[in-house]
Structure 1
Amino acid sequence: MKLIRGLMAAAVGGLIMANPVQAQGARGAISGRVIDSTSQLPMQSVTVTIEGTQRGAITRVDGGFQLADLPAGTARLRVTRIGYTPQVRDVAVVPGQTANVRFTMQSVAANLGAVVVTGYGSQRREAVTGSVATINAEEANVGVIANPTALLAGRAAGVNVTLNSGEPGAGAQIRIRGGTSISASNDPLYVIDGVPLQNNESEARGFGIGGSPALGRNPLNAINPSDIATVTVLKDAAATAIYGSRGANGVVLIETKKGRGGSATMEYETFIAGSRAANSLEFLDGNQYRAFIQSQIAKGTLPASRLTSQGNANTDWEKETQRTGYSQNHNLAFAGGNQSTTFRASLNLLDQQGVVISNGFQRLQARLNGNHEALNGRLRIGLNLSSSRIDNDYLPFENTGGFEGGVFQNNAVFNPTRPVFVIDPVTKAQQYYEIGLGRQSVRNPVALARQTIDEGNTLRTLANITSSLQIFPSLIAQLNVGTDRSNGQRNVYLPKGGSVGSEFGGLAQQAQRSLSNQTLQSLLTWSPTVGNDAEFDIVGGYEYTDFDNTDFSAQTRSFTTDAFTFNNLGAGAQPQIPQSYQEQSRLVSFFTRANVGYKNRYFVTGVLRRDGSSRFGDANKWAVFPAISGSWLISDESFGKSLPFSQLKLRVGYGLQGNQAVGPYQSLASLAPDGGARYVFGNNVFTGIVPNQNPNPLLKWEQSAQSNIAFDYGIANGRFSGSLEYYNKKTTDLLLTVPISQTGSAFVATQLQNIGAVQNRGLEFSLDARMYERAGKGLNLTSGLVLSVERNKVLNLGPADFIETGGVSGQGQSGVNAQRIIPGQPIGTFYGFEFAGFNTAGAQEFNTYTVTRDAKGKETSRVLKGKSTSPNADDKVIIGNANPTFSLGLRSNATWKGFDASWLWRAEQGRDVFNNTALVYATKANVTQDKNFLASALSSPESLTEPSQYSSRYVENGSFVRLQNVTVGYSFNLPRTARPVRLYVSGDNLLLFTPYTGYDPEVFIDAGLASRGMDYLSYPRARTFTSGFRIQF
C-alpha cells in the first residue's frame, strides 16, 4: 500500500510540475471575426466560448475577437447571439501560432428571427412565450408626431390610443387589452432604456372658468420620437409579471437609438406643417338667428323687442377663434465611435401652434447615449441622458361647464349678431365687445382667448447609467441606476379689465410641481451551455424605486395694475390661502425569470416577482406575482411539414399581475381643515381640523389573473405571417370607496376597500403580408392588419348595486350622471331615459315602464307601459355602450426605385358617444337668454321652452373609419457625393367617415375608464399637411 501511495503521489506531482513547462512552449491562440450573412457587416456583442471550459470572449465593434494562451490541440468554438443560429466549429490550436477563423451568422428564418426586447433583457422572437408586439418607430414616425404614444395608434392589436383632445401635446388614453380598474389608473407602465418612468402630469391644472379645466398635456412629450428605435408592448401576464405590481395595465418598452462604431455620421431632418380644424360645429349665423327670432315673434313666443335689440353683425365665433396652426420641427443627430466606445447625440426643436388662437406647444430636447467596452469586451458601461424644456400655451376651455364657461362654450352661445370689436364712444379706441364684465354666462370668446394668460413650462431630465460585467462566459452581472426628474411651473393671469378678471380685480396664480423617481436595479444572468439541443438562462434581480412628488400654489386678487401679470403676487391686495402638498412612496422588488428551450422548438418561461409597496396597509404591503408560459413550434415537427403553414407556433401562458396605481396614504386616516367646523378661542374664530378619510390597514393591491393562448403563423415561406390570440383577464380586489357604519361623532361614512371584480376577454388578430416583391423592377408592397375584439364585464361591486359615473354638464344638469357601472354590464354603460320623440306640443317624450321588485328591492321584471314627458327613476334603462365592438388598423408601405409611400387607416365600430355638447346647445330655449344654438335644432319640432334632458337622444353612434396618415417620399444621393437625402410630404387625419355629429368621436372629456365616451366642448382635432427632408453626412 505504501508503494502504491508513493507512486500515485509521484505521478500527480509530476503532472503538476510538467504543466507549466507545457504552457510555456505548447500554447497557441485563436483570432477571428464574425459577420452577418445578409448585410455582410461585422457583428458586435456575439458570444464566443470554448465548449467544456470557462474560456470565452465577446466580439468587438469590428466583429473581431481573440482567445490567447490556449493549449495545443483542438478547441471547439461555440458562437451565439440572440436572433441568430448558433454555430459550432473545431479549430486546431498550434503551439506558437494564431489560428484565424471567420464566422458568418445567419438570422433565424422568417419573422421569428427578430430580437425582441422583454422585461430586464431580450429574447429572439422564436423563444418568446408571452404576448409581445413590436413597432418599428422609423416606420410609425410619420406626420406630426409629438410623443411616443402616437406611434402606437393602429399598429398593435389590443392597443387602443385615444386623444383627450385635439390640443397640441394633448394627453392620451392608452389601453392595453381594455381597462380593468374603476378608481385606480388604467395607464400602462412606460420603461425607457430599462428605467420605469412616471406618467403623471408634470404641470398643475389651470384655473377653471365655470367648470373643470381641460385635461393636462401628455407627460411623455419630453421624449423625442425621432430618438426612438423600437417600441415593444408587453400585453399578457406572462410578459408583464416580471414588472409585478406595475404591470397590470401592460408595459410599453421604449428603446432609443444608439451609436455605432466606425466613422462619425451626422443626420439632419426638418419639417414644416400647417393645420386646420378638421371639423366644425354648425351654429346659427347672424342672419339665421335674426330670422329665427322673427319667426318666434310671429308665433307669439317672443316679444317684438327681441328683434330690435339684436345687432347688425354676422359673426362666426368659431371661425374667429380658429386659425391655421403652423408647426416646425428640427432634428440634428451625431453618431460614431471606435472599437471600444460608441455614442449618439441629438438635439430637437419642435414648435407646434394650435388650430385655436393663443395656444401651442414647444419642446427643446437634447439627448446623449454612449457605450464603452473594456477588459476585452467583458465590461460594458452605458449612459443614456436626455434633458428637455417644454413650454405650453394653454387656452381657457373646460371639460365640464355650467353657468360660466371658457372659449368653446362662448363660441357656442355668444350672440352671432354681435361684433368682435366696437369703438369706444369716448376714447375712440377699438375694444372687445362685451355684454358685461364680471360673472357672466356669456363672454366674447376672442377676448377670453387673447386676454387670458395661461403658461406652463417643464424641465425634465431622464438619465440612467448601466454597467455589466461578464464574470464568466455564462455569467453576467448588471447594475443600473436611473432617475426621472421634472419641475413644472404653471402661471395664470386674468387681467383686471378683462371679462373674467374684472370679477376679481385681476387674478394671478402660480403653481409649481416637482416629480422625482429614482431607480436602482441589480441583476445577475446565468446562461450556461447545456448541450447542442438545449438552452437555458435565468435572471435574478433586485429593484428599489423611490417616488417623491410635491405641489405648491399661491393666488392673489385685486391688483391696481396689469403690468406685473403673474410675476408679483405681493402686489395683489387679496392674497388667498396658499396650497401645498407632498407625497412619497417606495417600492422594493425581488424577481427572477427562467427560460428553457429544447431543440429550438419547445420553450418554457417561468417568472416570479415579490413586491413591497408603502402605499398599502400594514397587513398587505407585500405581494407575489408569478407567471408560467410555454411555446411549441409545431411546424418543426415531422407531422407539421404536411400542414399548410411554413411556420406555426402555439403559445400558452398564465400569470398574476398587480396594480398599485393609487395615491400614497390611502390606507391611513387623514385630517383636513373644514370651514364648517369652526370654534371660538378667546376673541378669535378658528377653522377646525376634522377627519376626512378612514384608515384601512387591510388595503392591498388590485390583482389580475390572466390566461393567454395564441397561434403565431407563417404562410408561403413567411410571405404572410401574424398571430391569433385569445385572452381572459379577471381583476379582483378592486379599490372602491364604500359606505361603512359609523358611531359617535365620526365625520366620514366611507372607506376605501378591496371589493368587486371585473373581467376582460378578447380576441386579437394580426397579419403582415409581403404583397408584391419584384427586385428587378424595384417595386415592393407590404401591408399589415391588426384587429381587436374586447369584451368587458363587471362581475360584482360588493355591497353596491351600481355606481353612477360621468357627470352631465350644462345648466340644470347638476347631479345628473350619464353612466352606471352595473354588475353584468361593461364599464362605460350609458344609463338613462329612452327618447321616444315629441308630442304635438313639442315636448320630449320618453318610454316608461312598469317595474316589479322583490322584497329586497331587486328588480324582477320590466314591462313597457307607454310614453311620458315626466318619467321617473324606474324608467331609466341601458341606452348605450362606450366600448367598440371591434377596432382595426390597416397599414401599407410601397417602394419603387427611389420613391416610397405609406398609409394608415384606423377604424372602430359599435361604440357609442354621449354628445354632451348637443344636449346643452341643440336647444332652441337658448334664444330666450339671448344665446345661440346649433343649427340642427331648426329642423326639430322641439318647443321654445323645452328644457334639456339627458336621454338616448344624445347618445350617438361613434363608429368611425379614419385615414390617419398618408406619406410620400423620394430618396436619392446628392450629386458627386454619397450623401443620402429624403424628401417627403405627409397628411394627417385626411378623411373621417362617422355618423357622429360632434367634432370627433375620438376625443373625450375624462381620462378615467369610468367616464369614457363622453364629449363636451372638446378641442377640435386638426387636419395637418407636412413637408420635410432628411439628409445624412
Structure 2
Amino acid sequence: MIKHTTNFVVAAALCLSSSALYAQSTIKGKVVDERNTAIQGATITDIASKKQVQTDVNGLFEFPSNENTVTLQVQYIGFETKTIQANISGLTTIQLTPSSSQLNEVVVTALGISREKRSLGYAVQEVKGTELQTRPTNALSALSGKVAGLQVTTSGGNMGGSSHVLLRGINSIAGNNQPLFVIDGTPIDNTDLNSSATINGSAGKDVGNMIQDINPDDIENISVLKGPSAAALYGSRAANGVILITTKRASKGEKVDIAINTGLDFENIVRLPKRQQLYGQGYSTNFQTQNINGKDYKIVDYASDESWGPKLDGTPVLQWYNLNPEDEANYLNPTPWLYPKNDVNYFFRTGVANTNNFSIAGNSGNTNYRFSYTNKNVSGTVPNSSLDRNTLNFSGGTQLGKIKVTSNFNYIRNSSIGRPWTGASNRNIILEAFQWGGVQVDYKILENYKRADGTPIAWNRTGWQNNATDEATRFIDNPYWSAYESYMEDSRDRFYGNIGLQYDVNNWLTVGAKVHGDIYSFQSQDRIAVYSRSQSQYEESSNKLNEYNYEFSYS
C-alpha cells in the first residue's frame, strides 16, 4: 500500500493595533453522561493556560477567558477524556462517553454501588471471569489460589460436591463461617443440603451446597470483600465477608455479539491409598481344607474382611467366585491365589464433563440485552454416576424517558444420579477396598454383582457353603451393587434475579427501587436395596426456599 500525504502551509497576516482593547468574558458549560444526567466533579482544563475548574452538583461550570474561543479538555473517572472548542455565546453542553479501560480502577461494592478502588477503606480483590476457564461444575472451586486469604475446600469433583469457603480463617467455633454470596446485588442462599452425618464426615452421600448453581460462563468478575467493614450494608449475615459476583452484560455500541463455547474436561483419580500386595484375605497364614462332594479343597477365610491371610503365592484355592453353582465354568474349579490383574483401580473410570454455551447480546437505541443458555453433562469417576445441568440467563435494561428499567433473571435445572458415598459407610468404595477389602479381590470379576434372581454375589460371606440370598454378604456390599442398586437420585429447580426501576426526578436527584428474589426446590430419592448388608430402606426428602429482598436508593 502506498500512502500519499499532502502538506498545506497557510500564511496568516498578524495585525497589531494598540487601539484594540478586549474585555474579559466567561465561557459557560454543562457536563452530562450518555443519559444526559449531570456529572458532578468533572475537571475542565484550558489547554492553553492550564487553568482548571470543576463542575458543580448540577454539572455546570464557568471558565473566565480573554478569548472568544478556547480549547477545553474535560475529564472524569470512568469516562473518555473529551476535547472541545467552546465560545462565549450561550451554554455549551458536553456529553461524555463511558470508558471501559478506565473502569478497571472502579470496583462494585455493596448494593451494586461503584467506587474507585483506591478510595475504599477496606480490602477488596477481584477475579475476572476469564480466569475461570476450567469451567468447573462448582465455580467457587476455581477461586482456589487466586485470592489472598481465601481458602476453598471442595469435594465431589465434577459431580458437584460441597464447597466450603473461608475468608481470613475461622471466626466461630460452632457457628457459620461462610461468607455471604451476592450476584448482581441479589443475596444468594448457600445452604448445605447434606445430612448432619455427611457434614460431620461419618456417612451419607454428598449432594453439595447451593452455591454450585452459579454458572461460570455467565460470570464477568468476582469481587471479594474482606472483613465486617466491607459488608456493613448487608448486615450480620455478612460478618465473614462478602463474595460479589457480577454477571456479563451487553457491551457498549450499536452491535450484536453472538458467542458459542464448548469445553470437554476429563477427570481421573490422582492417587489412592497404598496397600500391601503380599498377603490375601484372612486372619491366618494357612488355608483351611474342606471336603466337598468327596474331594478336598483349600478354601479362603471368607468371613474375614482383612488381609492378614496366606501369602499370595499362586496356590490353587476355591475363591468366592468358585462357589456359585450358576457359574458352571468356575464352580468348584480352584484358581491361583495371586494379587489380581484388575485391582481397585479398575473400579474407577475416567470422568467426562461436556459444557456447551450459547449467548447473544446487543444494544439497540436505549435498550441492551444478553441471553445465555448453558448445558453441562457429567459422567462421574464412579460407575452409574452422572449429572445434567441446564442454565438460562437473561439480563437487560431500557431507558423510557426519565425511567430506566433493569432486570437479571437466572433459571437452573439440576438432575443427578449416583452421588458418591462418604464417611464410614460400608458402601463407601474407599472403605470397601482399603479398610474392609480383600487384597486378592479382582474387580473385573466383581462387575458381575448379582444373580439372575436379583440377589447379590458377594466376595465375603459367612462360610464356603453359604449361598443364602439374605445372609451371603458378611461385612460389606459388592461396590458395584452399591453403585447400581443402592444409589441416590436428586433434582433441583432454582430461580434467582432482580428487577429494578430508576427515575430521574431532576438533574440532581435520581431515585430507584429494586426487588431481589431467590427461589429453589430440591427433591431427592435415596435407597438401600433389598439384600444389602445394611437394613434396606427408601427415603424421599424435599427442601424449598423463597427469599425476597427489597431495595430503595437515591443519588
Identify whether the pair has TM-score above 0.5, normalized to the shorter chain.
yes
Does the C-alpha gap of structure 1 residues 211 and 273 become closer, same or farther in structure 2, counting only changes over 3 Å? Answer: same
Q: Which of 434, 440, 456 in structure 2 is aligned with 1:417?
A: 440
Is it true that 1:433 corresponds to 2:458 in the alignment?
yes
Cα pair distance change 1:434/1:150, threshold 3 Å: same
- State the distance in 2 between where 1:173 and 1:275 align: 21
Does the 8 Å contact 1:190/1:254 carry over to 2? Answer: yes
Q: Alpha-carbon deviations, 1:582-627, whole Å to 9, x = none?
A: xxxxxxxxxxxxxxxxxxxxxxxxxxxxxxxxxxxxxxxxxxxxxx
Q: Is the 8 A contact 2:29 2:94 kept in 1?
A: yes
Is it true that 1:163 corresponds to 2:148 in the alignment?
no
2:479 is aligned with 1:445: yes
Taking structure 1 as reference, are residues 469 and 289 closer, same or farther at Cα in structure 2, changes over 3 Å only? Answer: same
Verify: 1:332 aligned to 2:366, yes or no. Answer: no
Asked if 2 retains the 8 angstrom alpha-carbon contact of 1:491 and 1:510, the reply is yes
Change (3 A) 1:516 1:427: closer
Match of 1:130 among 93, 116, 122: 122
Matched-pair contact (CA < 8 Å) for 2:267–2:351: yes
Deviation by residue 1:732-761 (Cα, 9 ceiling, x = unmatched)? xxxxxxxxxxxxxxxxxxxxxxxxxxxxxx
**What is the CA-CA distance between 1:187 and the residue it aligns to?**
0.3
Counterpart amino acid of residue 136 in structure 2: I
CA shift for structure 1 position 48: 4.1
- Going from structure 1 to structure 2, the CA distance change for 1:46 and 1:131 (only over 3 Å counts) comes to farther
Per-residue Cα deviation, 1:106-126 (whole angstroms, up to 9, x for no partner): 8898xx961111112011222
In 1, are the aligned partners of 2:198 and 2:423 still within 8 Å (CA)? no
Considering only aligned residues, what root-mean-square deviation do their CA atoms show, in Å?
A: 4.2
Cα distance between partner residues in 1 of 2:448 and 2:224: 59
Q: Does the CA contact (< 8 Å) of 2:158 and 2:378 recur in 1?
A: no
Please state which structure has a larger fraction of its residues in strand.
1
For 1:493 and 1:453, the matched residues in 2 are separated by 6
3-state secondary structure, aligned to 2:181: strand
Deviates more, 1:472-481 or 1:337-346: 472-481
Residue number in structure 2 paired with 1:345: 371
Aligned-pair distance for 1:91?
4.1
CA distance in 1 between partners of 2:355 and 2:249 (Å): 21
Residue 348 of structure 1: how far off its partner (Å):
0.3
1:81 CA displacement: 5.2
Where does 1:289-300 land on structure 2 (aligned, <5 Å)? Answer: 289=280, 294=285
One-letter code aligned to 2:260: Y
| CA deviation vs aligned residue, 1:700-735 (integer Å, no higher than 9, x gap) | xxxxxxxxxxxxxxxxxxxxxxxxxxxxxxxxxxxx
Q: Is the 8 A contact 1:204 1:488 kept in 2?
A: no
Tell me: CA distance 1:84–1:104, structure 2 relative to 1, closer, same or farther (3 Å).
Answer: closer
Structure-1 separation of matches of 2:300 and 2:517: 69
- Partner letter of residue 272 of structure 1? L
Check conservation: 1:269, 1:330, Cα contact below 8 A.
yes
Structure-1 separation of matches of 2:447 and 2:377: 34
Structure 1 equivalent of residue 11 of structure 2: none
SS at structure 2 position matched to 1:196: strand
1:368 to 371, 386, 394: 394
147 and 76 in structure 1: CA distance in 2 versus 1, 3 angstrom threshold: farther
- Alignment partners' CA distance in 2, 1:86 and 1:472: 25
Instruction: Kindly state the Cα deviation for residue 517 of structure 1 after the two structures are TM-superposed.
Output: 1.2
Supply the distance in 1 between the matched residues of 2:449 and 2:211 (Cα, whole angstroms).
47
Indicate which of 376, 386, 399 corresponds to 2:423: 399
1:634-659: per-residue Cα shift (whole Å, max 9, x none)?
A: xxxxxxxxxxxxxxxxxxxxxxxxxx
Q: Secondary structure at the match of 2:430?
A: helix
Would you say 1:387 and 2:379 are equivalent positions?
Answer: no
CA deviations 1:779-833 (Å, max 9, x no partner) are: xxxxxxxxxxxxxxxxxxxxxxxxxxxxxxxxxxxxxxxxxxxxxxxxxxxxxxx
Provide the secondary structure at the position in 2 that maps to 1:262.
Answer: coil
**Partner amino acid, structure 2, of 1:125:** K
Counterpart Cα distance in 1 of 2:98 and 2:452: 83
Q: What is the CA deviation profile of residues 847-881 of structure 1, one whole-angstrom value per residue up to 9, with x for unaligned ones? A: xxxxxxxxxxxxxxxxxxxxxxxxxxxxxxxxxxx
- Cα deviation digits, residues 552-580 of structure 1 (max 9, x gap): xxxxxxxxxxxxxxxxxxxxxxxxxxxxx
Counterpart of 2:235 in structure 1 is 244
Q: Which one of 122, 138, 142 corresponds to residue 151 of structure 1?
A: 142
Q: Point out the more displaced range, 268-277 or 145-154.
A: 145-154
Shift of the 496–400 alpha-carbon distance from structure 1 to 2, 3 Å rule, reads closer
The answer to whether the 8 A contact 1:317-1:411 is kept is no
The Cα offsets for residues 861-909 of structure 1, whole Å up to 9 and x where unpaired, read as xxxxxxxxxxxxxxxxxxxxxxxxxxxxxxxxxxxxxxxxxxxxxxxxx
The SS at the match of 2:546 is strand
Correspondent of 1:466 among 484, 489, 500: 500
In the alignment, what sits opposite 1:714? none
Higher CA-based Rg: 2
Aligned length: 454
Distance 1:53 1:461 in 2: 43
- The CA distance in 1 between the partners of 2:97 and 2:542, in whole Å, is 57
Deviation of the 1:360 alpha carbon: 2.9
The alpha-carbon deviation at position 143 of structure 1 amounts to 2.0
2:189 corresponds to 1:198: yes
- Correspondence for 2:513 among 476, 479, 492: 479
The answer (yes or no) to whether the contact 1:487–1:514 under 8 Å persists in 2 is yes
Mapped partners of 1:265, 1:424: distance in 2: 53
CA distance in 1, matches of 2:164, 2:554: 36
Taking a change above 3 Å as real, the CA distance of residues 158 and 221 of structure 1, as seen in their structure-2 partners, is: same
| TM superposition shift of 1:245 | 0.6
In structure 2, give the amino acid aligned to 1:177. Answer: R
Query: The residue matched to 2:255 in structure 1 has which SS?
Result: strand
Deviation by residue 1:467-519 (Cα, 9 ceiling, x = unmatched): 2223333333221101101100011233324454xx43xx2211111012111
- Is 1:274 the counterpart of 2:266? The answer is yes
Question: 2:521 aligned with 1:495, yes or no?
Answer: no
Deviation at 1:267, TM superposition (A): 0.3
In 2 relative to 1, CA 468–203 (structure 1 residues): closer, same or farther, beyond 3 Å? Answer: farther
Query: How far apart are residue 99 of structure 1 and its match?
Result: 6.0
Q: Is contact 1:344–1:368 with CA below 8 Å preserved after alignment?
A: yes
Q: Is the 8 A contact 2:418 2:483 kept in 1?
A: no
TM-score (norm 1): 0.40
Structure 2 CA distance for aligned equivalents of residues 159 and 424 of structure 1: 44
Report the Cα distance in structure 2 between the residues aligned to 1:424 and 1:128, rounded to whole angstroms. Answer: 62
1:408 and 2:442 aligned = no
How many Å apart are 1:153 and its aligned residue? 1.1
* 2:381 paired with 1:355: yes
User: In the alignment, does 2:347 pair up with 1:321?
Assistant: yes
Question: Which residue of structure 2 lines up, in the alignment, with residue 212 of structure 1?
Answer: 203
Q: Distance in 2 between matches of 1:465 and 1:383?
A: 4
Partner of 2:163: 172
CA distance in 2, matches of 1:232, 1:167: 24
Matches within 5 A, 1:590-629: none
Q: Which amino acid aligns with 1:445?
A: P
TM-score by length of structure 2 reads: 0.71
Give the corresponding residue for 2:326. Answer: none
Relative to structure 1, the CA distance from residue 220 to residue 296 in structure 2 (aligned partners, 3 Å threshold; closer, same or farther) is same
C-alpha spacing 1:197/1:291, structure 2 compared with 1 (3 Å):
closer
The SS at the match of 2:505 is strand
